[in-house]
């Protein structure tokens, strides 16, 4: 049976005011534009980037905290209550968290770009406070998600990773001025590992088990194979983090091998859903999602090679770019262009009694520009990093920048059409 009817039954009663998730989405889309601009500026530093303050670190955190953090949290705050059939208790803590988190990210990135430990510390405290509030709210919802055990387990892994991620991040920020950590670089690698695999990775993989069946009109995955994949990923995160902290390449490589095993199970599950889907025409959004599925194992193999210096000094930068920009960013932008019209349609249906056609809410041409610009950006930028050619990185960043502007145009058209209805706008209580 298709997941749609059971997943969406009574979903409108669990909707947040539209201004809550959409403010996170719009912030993430703005960070998306800013990130490509910073990467253009940091092109000279990107091929040999190995950590430390500066424009390259700022660009990295505009991606991870700016784009991934806001979009993933905005989606989780709304889609998790819909999936678990448990509404959020109130909207005001989410607004509070937003006004802590987004300004905090801006302050933190400003400090990184300008080599200022004081600005980094202030931004880290603000953003960390917002993340703690959001993690606590998500954890409260997950405690009630007994009817979705696999998705709930991935959610718990992501939320647990988020708490650790914030603590490690704050330690790294304060270490720039107080030298608190015994090995800053080892902690930074652990921090990145938990961010990529623990928080964002588990959210992406966990929600795939709900969102992909829902959008493709396919049966939800069942059986023990999903639990085996979850176990492989949990062990991979733990072992990779331990290997990073202990500066033990063999231990980190063992974790990556487990991640490859978890990836194989995940992709097998997604392919089973894809081949049995009822909706055949999935458009550019799922072109991006399927490309991200192909890039994930490639990124893990590159990370494994970089662990043993098989890719030369630029290996970590290549593997990091492929995993962060190639896998996670591509997946996120593909899913976001499905989630935003879906939520807008549900809010419109709540007022008008029936959902509008998605073609009435979305603009297709900007999404076409974004998809091809994004893919061009990935190819050019990764080639520039691999061969140490800043001009290629700048060409990729420019393509990504204009692709991000096109995606912003799509989002603004959708939001304008959603909030043009005064009743819907009034219900937001922004």
pLDDT category at 417 given cuts 50, 70, 90 is confident
Residue 186 has pLDDT above 70, yes or no: yes
Among 141, 44, 123, which Cα is nearest to 85's? Answer: 141
Question: Distance between CA atoms of 82 and 70, rounded to whole angstroms?
Answer: 19
What mean pLDDT do residues 328-351 have? 85
Residue 425 has pLDDT above 60, yes or no: no
Whole-number pLDDT of residue 357: 60
Instruction: Quickly count: other Cβ atoms within 10 Å of residue 184's Cβ.
Output: 16
Alpha helices in 70-116 (DSSP H): 70-84, 92-113
pLDDT category at 16 given cuts 50, 70, 90 is confident
Provide the mean pLDDT of the chain.
88
Residue 8 has pLDDT above 70, yes or no: no
Whole-number pLDDT of residue 84: 65
Q: Which CATH superfamily is domain 4-427 in?
A: Cytochrome c oxidase-like, subunit I domain (1.20.210.10)
Tell me if 217 sits within 8 A of 209, measured CB to CB: no
Question: Distance between CA atoms of 226 and 400, rounded to whole angstroms?
Answer: 34
More confident residue, 418 or 411: 411
**Stretch (H or E) spanning 33:** helix 19-41
pLDDT category at 145 given cuts 50, 70, 90 is low
Whole-number pLDDT of residue 224: 81
Question: What whole-number percentage of the chain has pLDDT above 90?
Answer: 64
What mean pLDDT do residues 344-361 have? 64
pTM for the structure as a whole = 0.92
Residue identified by tokens 């490690």 is: 168
Whole-number pLDDT of residue 428: 45
Domain parsing of the chain, residue ranges = 4-427
pLDDT per residue as tens digits for the range 100-119:
999 999 999 999 999 999 99
Tell me if 390 sits within 8 A of 320, measured CB to CB: no
SS3 state at 267: helix
Residue 223 has pLDDT above 80, yes or no: no
SS3 state at 10: coil
Whole-number pLDDT of residue 194: 96
What lies within 8 Å, CB to CB, of 420 at 6+ separation is none
Question: Distance between CA atoms of 430 and 417, rounded to whole angstroms?
Answer: 17
SS3 state at 357: coil
Tell me if 104 sits within 8 A of 126, measured CB to CB: yes
Whole-number pLDDT of residue 196: 95
What mean pLDDT do residues 202-219 have? 89
Whole-number pLDDT of residue 422: 42
Instruction: Quickly count: other Cβ atoms within 10 Å of residue 143's Cβ.
Output: 12
Q: Which two tokens stand for residue 393?
A: 């990185």
Whole-number pLDDT of residue 366: 94
């Amino acid at each position: 049976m298709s997941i749609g009817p059971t997943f969406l039954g009574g979903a409108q009663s669990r909707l947040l005011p539209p201004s809550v998730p959409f403010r996170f989405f719009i912030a993430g889309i703005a960070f998306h534009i800013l990130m490509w601009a910073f990467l253009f500026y940091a092109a000279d530093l990107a091929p040999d980037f190995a950590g430390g303050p500066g424009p390259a670190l700022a660009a990295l955190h505009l991606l991870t905290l700016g784009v991934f953090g806001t979009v993933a949290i905005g989606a989780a705050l709304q889609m998790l209550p819909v999936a678990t059939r448990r509404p959020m208790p109130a909207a005001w803590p989410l607004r509070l968290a937003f006004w802590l988190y987004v300004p905090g990210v801006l302050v933190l990135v400003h400090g990184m770009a300008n080599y200022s430990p004081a600005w980094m510390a202030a931004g880290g405290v603000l953003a960390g406070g917002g993340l703690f509030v959001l993690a606590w709210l998500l954890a409260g919802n997950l405690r009630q998600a007994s009817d979705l055990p696999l998705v709930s387990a991935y959610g718990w892994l992501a939320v647990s990773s988020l708490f650790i991620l914030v603590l490690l991040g704050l330690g790294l920020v304060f270490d720039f001025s107080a030298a608190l950590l015994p090995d800053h670089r080892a902690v930074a690698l652990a921090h990145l590992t938990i961010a990529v695999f623990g928080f964002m990775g588990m959210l992406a993989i966990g929600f795939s088990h709900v969102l992909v069946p829902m959008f493709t009109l396919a049966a939800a995955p069942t059986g023990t194979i999903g639990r085996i994949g979850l176990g492989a990923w949990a062990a991979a995160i733990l072992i990779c983090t331990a290997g990073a902290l202990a500066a033990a390449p063999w231990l980190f490589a063992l974790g990556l091998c487990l991640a490859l095993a978890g990836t194989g199970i995940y992709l097998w599950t997604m392919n089973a859903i894809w081949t049995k889907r009822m909706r055949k025409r999935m458009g550019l959004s799922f072109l991006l999602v399927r490309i991200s599925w192909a890039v994930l194992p490639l990124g893990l193999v590159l990370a494994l090679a970089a662990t043993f210096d098989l890719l030369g000094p630029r290996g970590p930068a290549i593997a990091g770019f492929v995993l962060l920009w190639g896998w996670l960013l591509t997946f996120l932008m593909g899913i976001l262009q499905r989630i935003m019209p879906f939520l807008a349609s549900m809010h419109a249906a709540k007022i008008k009694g029936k959902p509008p056609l998605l073609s009435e809410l979305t603009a297709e041409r900007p999404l076409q520009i974004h998809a091809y610009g994004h893919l061009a950006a990935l190819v050019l930028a990764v080639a520039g990093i691999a061969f140490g050619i800043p001009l290629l990185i700048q060409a990729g960043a420019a393509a990504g920048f204009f692709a991000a502007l096109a995606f912003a145009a799509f989002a603004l058209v959708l939001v304008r059409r959603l909030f043009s209805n005064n009743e819907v706008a009034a219900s937001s209580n922004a």
